[in-house]
């Protein structure tokens, strides 16, 4: 599938009940040829209203954090595990993730990233390991299917608990190093 076909098909998706409440489906944003892909769990209120991922308070914090390592949206592609907002920002249910993950798989096939950074536990458990423990394993790198994968705390968690920010800063420095590494391979 090509981007246009994928985006048009996804826009009509009713594979799970989250379609019933959405204002906008939040497909993805950023550079479709980037080496880096960021994956969060699902849209929040602002994302649902605007149809763009990570544009609310958590997204603004994410932008600030990535700016520290000189990254902005032209440097990565960003999407979520589920494309429609779960009510009251609850975690997406396993069945909703299962229904939606195919869209993300198609996005990964088209972007062909060298690195995937999961934003938070839900994405890490879905993409890295179902038993992933974000408190213990954030910042660690694993390679799956030729893609380097890691996770950091979700920016919403960093808004709630500022004490996690220094270790996230270390994880971002590690991301910067990994990006340099994959850039040198080409
Ligand atoms: S969350 Fe995903 S699977 Fe569910 S309706 Fe939205 S796009 Fe479809």
Task: In whole angstroms, give the CA distance from residue 84 to residue 21.
Answer: 8
Q: Which of 134, 125, 45, 115 is nearest to 93 (CA)?
A: 125
CA atoms 18, 90, 139, 169: torsion sign: positive
Distance (Å) from CA 1 to ligand 1 centroid: 18
Q: pLDDT category, 147, cuts 50, 70, 90?
A: very high
Would the CB of 99 count as within 6 Å of ligand 1?
A: yes
pLDDT tens digit sequence for 57-106: 999 999 999 999 999 999 999 999 999 999 999 999 999 999 999 999 99
Q: pLDDT category, 134, cuts 50, 70, 90?
A: very high
Q: How many Å separate Cα 110 from the centre of its chain?
A: 15
pLDDT at 186 over 80: no
Would the CB of 85 count as within 6 Å of ligand 1?
A: no
Q: Model-level pTM?
A: 0.97
Distance (Å) from CA 16 to ligand 1 centroid: 5
Ligand 1 pocket test, pick from 9, 16, 44, 106 with the greatest ligand atom count within 8 Å of Cβ, gives 16
Answer yes or no: CATH 3.40.50.300 is held by domain 3-180.
no
């Amino acid at each position: 599938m090509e981007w246009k076909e994928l985006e048009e098909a996804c826009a009509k998706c009713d594979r799970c009940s989250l379609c019933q409440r959405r204002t906008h489906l939040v497909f993805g944003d950023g550079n479709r040829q980037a080496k880096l892909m960021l994956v969060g769990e699902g849209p929040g209120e602002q994302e649902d209203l605007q149809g763009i991922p990570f544009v609310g308070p958590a997204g603004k914090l994410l932008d600030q954090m990535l700016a520290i390592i000189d990254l902005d949206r032209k440097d990565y592609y960003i999407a979520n595990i589920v494309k429609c907002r779960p009510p009251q920002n609850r975690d997406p249910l396993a069945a909703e993730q299962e229904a939606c993950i195919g869209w993300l798989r198609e996005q990964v096939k088209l972007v062909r990233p060298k690195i995937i950074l999961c934003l938070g536990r839900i994405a890490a458990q879905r993409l890295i390991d179902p038993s992933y423990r974000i408190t213990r394993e954030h910042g660690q790198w694993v390679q799956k299917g030729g893609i380097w994968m890691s996770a950091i705390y979700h920016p919403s968690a960093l808004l709630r608990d500022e004490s996690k920010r220094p270790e996230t800063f270390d994880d971002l420095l590690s991301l910067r190093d990994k990006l340099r590494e994959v850039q040198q391979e080409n």
